[in-house]
Structure 1
Amino acid sequence: MYKALYVYFIGFFFIVISSYSQAPEPNSTHEKWEYVLEGSGDVLQIGLPVIAGLTTIIKKDWEGTKQFALSYGTGFIVTHSLKKIIRKERPEERNLFDAFPSGHTTSAFSGASFIQRRYGWKYGKWAYLGAAIVGVSRMEGPDGWHDKWDVLAGAAVGIGSTYLFTSPYMQKHVDIAFSASNKSYVFGLRYRF
């Protein structure tokens, strides 16, 4: 079931990228792959948190839903507060003072780290790969919105906020049973590792 969710997301991802990625301008020094990379980062920074939230709903993991909301909200607030406080200029002297930390990277790593922390490395490794693509896209895309420190700080805020509020998902491990009939009583205990 979860594999299907990821397959649909990957399909959606490639459709969006191929449809909406910018084309290089004539006489541009940038190549097509740089535009595809930037578009990929734009999609994944939303897609990873959406997958994390949907996973909690599909699994009916309401505690996980609450933990995800707290961790994602904290990451969002911390990132945008730091942008206002630090006022670091964007690369290439754009005269914009909101570079540190990268919001795209915070969002992507918040979703990826939640998937890994709550549901394990089986899915988390792929989520982290997607988040890493977002980080690279913020530095290497044609617009080059961030430097490595902005991206590392965004990843740290995303992962840190997740680890503050998220605990590993534990399914019920103990089943207790009791049965009685004609003066005989049976008590059962089953523990799943």
Structure 2
Amino acid sequence: MWFKRLLPLLLLLASPAKADSEQLASALRIALPAAAAGTALWKEDYDGLWQFGLSFAASSATTLVLKSAVDADRPDGSDNDSFPSGHATNAFSAAAYLQRRYGWQYGAPAYALASWTAVSRVNTNDHNWADVLAGAAIGIAFNQWLVDPQAPVQLAPVVLDDGLMISGIVTF
């Protein structure tokens, strides 16, 4: 089971020092997209690789435009553009691609690492929750729009006025 393989890594990542956390978040910002592209290449899924490149570029460009337009200060007081989080955008774009294109067996570990990246950016005072949530939403949204599912079963949460629903598609 994939979770048993991921659990030791998550425990290792649970509470690193601030400097280590910042370095690891920056590494994951690059490693997750590299893993997404590498997975497409490994599977010889060149259409998927193109779709990932397009969704990653669109989400990254959107984040850069918003950073300049909003010009929000970071929680640590620096005047670097804070909103939205580029780390979260990049990490969640890769995770969303892996899940949408290849299913949860690829997406769940990637989402766990992307979530850790986002939480670490808040814990190190580089971003606030709105920054990382917006970055995650941008990364996920472009993949929902631009990436065609290849996995035989796709599940997605749907928010209703009076609760949640899981919607699914099975390809035969």
Regarding TM over 0.5, the answer is yes
Deviation digits for residues 104-155 of structure 1, max 9, x if unmatched?
11000000010000000111110000000110111112xx211000000000
Pairing partner for 1:165 from 143, 146, 163: 146
Q: In the alignment, which residue of structure 1 is the partner of 2:84?
A: 101
Partner of 1:183: none
The corresponding residue for 2:31 is: 47
- Following the alignment from structure 2 to structure 1, what is the Cα–Cα distance between the partners of residues 79 and 57? 28
Q: Is structure 2 residue 125 aligned with structure 1 residue 137? A: no
Q: Percent identity?
A: 38
The reply to whether residue 154 of structure 1 matches residue 135 of structure 2 is yes
Q: Where does structure 2 lack aligned partners over 5 or more consecutive residues?
A: 153-170
Residue 92 of structure 2 aligns to which amino acid in structure 1?
F
User: In the alignment, what sits opposite 1:75?
Assistant: 59
Q: What residue ranges of structure 1 are gaps of 5+ in the alignment? A: 18-30, 172-191
Partner of 1:189: none
Q: Distance in 1 between matches of 2:32 and 2:20?
A: 18
TM-score by length of 2: 0.77
Measured after TM superposition, the shift of residue 90 of structure 1 is 1.2
- TM-score normalised per structure 1: 0.69
- Alpha-carbon offset, residue 88 of structure 1: 0.8
Task: Determine the C-alpha separation between the residues in 1 that align with 2:101 and 2:34.
Answer: 15
Q: Segments of 4+ in structure 1 off by > 3 A?
A: none
Root-mean-square deviation (CA, aligned residues, Å) is 2.4
Structure having the higher Rg: 1
Aligned to 2:17: 33
Equivalent of 1:112, from 82, 86, 95?
95
Corresponding pairs, count: 146
